Amino acid sequence: MNKIICIANQKGGVGKTTTAINLASSLAAAEKQTLLIDGDSQGNATSGMGMTSNGNNLYHALIGQAQVNEVILATAIPHLDIITSNQDLIGVEVEFIHIEEREKRLRNLLKSLDKRYDFIIIDCPPSLGFMTVNALVAADFLIVPLQCEYFAMEGLGYLLNTVRLVKAKLNPDLALGGILLTMFDPRNLLSHRVTEDVKKHFGEKVFKTIIPRNVRLSESPSHGLPIILYDIKSRGAIAYMELAQEIIEGGL
């Protein structure tokens, strides 16, 4: 039985797609059969993996134009597949407005993959709209990337309230897998203060692994490579491999 993890935060620029790409890649490097789903119409997880989305993609599977198996592509990393997305996904919210149980569309799509993957990682758009709600309904766990910067927890209440609503009405099994601190700069006093505040507020729900601010990590998407292929010795690569190990060992 697979574990479905959605990576969500409606605040942009927090390392959400970076986390989705590099967590999925690190899990695959640990020989866990993994599927990365690009749930954002911007297609950043797609391009960040060096893939294109010219053929059938997540949109076509959601509207029933293609079977889920027809939109799964192999990546350059063994054990890692991807479902790509592009701007086609923008229209799905409008097209589904009168469809019953539209929030369960993605969950129903993934049911057939139950025994095929160990982990399914869903990258969500920076909003609390249709695709994020679909991801929360489909997921077993939510990981929230939180940057170690001013206003880090701004808007987090809205996300957690959405999680409570989804749990109450649509997916009672959804759990907060953890808060992931990102863009940590050890030279910056503010980074340390934000880290202390988040740990004080969320306690054991904060991952022990902290993702550092790292130039190589920032560069890798422009080359269409996850960090373990771009620079496996970088601090960013080591951090994401540690996060994958923490998730595997922690039973997430």
Nearest to 21 by CA among 51, 59, 63: 51
pLDDT tens digit at each of 252 positions of the chain: 799 999 999 998 999 999 999 999 999 999 999 999 999 999 999 999 999 988 899 999 999 999 999 999 999 999 999 999 999 999 888 888 888 889 999 999 999 898 899 999 999 999 999 999 999 999 999 999 999 988 888 888 899 999 999 999 999 999 999 999 999 999 999 999 999 999 999 999 999 999 999 999 999 999 999 999 999 999 999 999 999 999 999 878
Parse the chain into domains and list their residue ranges: 3-250
pLDDT computed for residue 153 by the predictor: 84
Exposed, middle or buried, 205 (CB in 10 Å: 0-12/13-18/19+)? middle
Q: What per-residue confidence (pLDDT) applies to 242?
A: 98
d(C-alpha 138, C-alpha 109), whole Å: 9
In the prediction, which pLDDT does 1 show?
74
Q: How far apart are CA 113 and CA 54, in angstroms?
A: 23
Radius of gyration of the chain from Cα atoms? Answer: 17
Q: How far apart are CA 112 and CA 174, in angstroms?
A: 19
Closest CA to 106 of 118, 98, 96: 96
Alpha carbons 122 and 138: distance in angstroms, whole number = 9
Task: Measure the CA–CA gap between 107 and 117, rounded to whole angstroms.
Answer: 15
Give the pLDDT of residue 208: 97
Asked if 57 and 84 touch (Cβ cutoff 8 Å), the reply is: yes
Distance CA 177, CA 183 (A): 19
Q: How far is CA 122 from CA 37, 43, 45, 97, in A?
A: 5, 12, 10, 22
Tell me the residue length of the chain: 252
Superfamily classification of domain 3-250? P-loop containing nucleotide triphosphate hydrolases (3.40.50.300)
